[in-house]
Amino acid sequence: MSNLVNVPKSGSLSNSNLNQNFPTLSNWLDDIFNRDLPSVFTSNFNTGITLPKVNIKETADAFIVEMAVPGLKKSDFHIDIDNQVLSISTKSKVENEQKEENYTRREFGYASFKRTFTLPESVNDDKINANYNDGILSIELPKKEEAKQKPIRSIKIS
């Protein structure tokens, strides 16, 4: 029973086992491009920092976006909203120079990222708040009044 062949509606048969052990060019390319890339390709070459992970949660009154980005200052962040698209980005430059009697050592590095999110129309973009505390950037996206979840109420049957 393992040698069953699907017969198309046209009634013609094709040998589906032909060169089964040899991948086609299409399968080979799909395999290459669908693999996870090594971290060297997905990280920032200068610092090894990858794109920060984001948690998004919904409450009855708002959406909360939390991003773990330790080691930065509030002034490093740029948060913009344009046409219902929230953009969170940062650019930082670190320079360190150490001079000793016989040598000078100078190191520098750059780090940046940008994350964008399309906001639902239920967000009241006039009341968006953000704060940065202990390496966590937290953005509160309050819902419009009509979009807020109303408490459960009982309806009396007359």
Tell me the two tokens of residue 58: 């919904």
The Cα 71–Cα 150 span in angstroms is: 40
Mean pLDDT of the chain: 76
pTM (two decimals): 0.58
Tell me the two tokens of residue 128: 């968006």
The Cα 31–Cα 136 span in angstroms is: 37
The Cα 20–Cα 24 span in angstroms is: 9
Tell me the two tokens of residue 70: 């330790």
**Of how many residues is the chain composed?**
158
pLDDT of res. 81: 92
| Sheet architecture: strand order including 104-118 | 77-82, 85-99, 104-118
If one counts every other C-beta atom within 10 angstroms of the C-beta of residue 147, the result is 13
Whether residue 27 has pLDDT greater than 90: no
- Cα 141 from chain centroid? 17
Higher pLDDT, 134 or 25: 134
The closest of 53, 51, 74, 70 to 136, measured between CA atoms, is: 70
Whether residue 26 has pLDDT greater than 70: no
Over residues 7-17, the pLDDT tens digits come to 555 544 444 44
DSSP string covering 37-60, please? PPHHHHB-TTT-PBPPPEEEEE-S
pLDDT of res. 34: 58
Q: Does domain 45-147 have CATH number 2.60.40.790?
A: yes
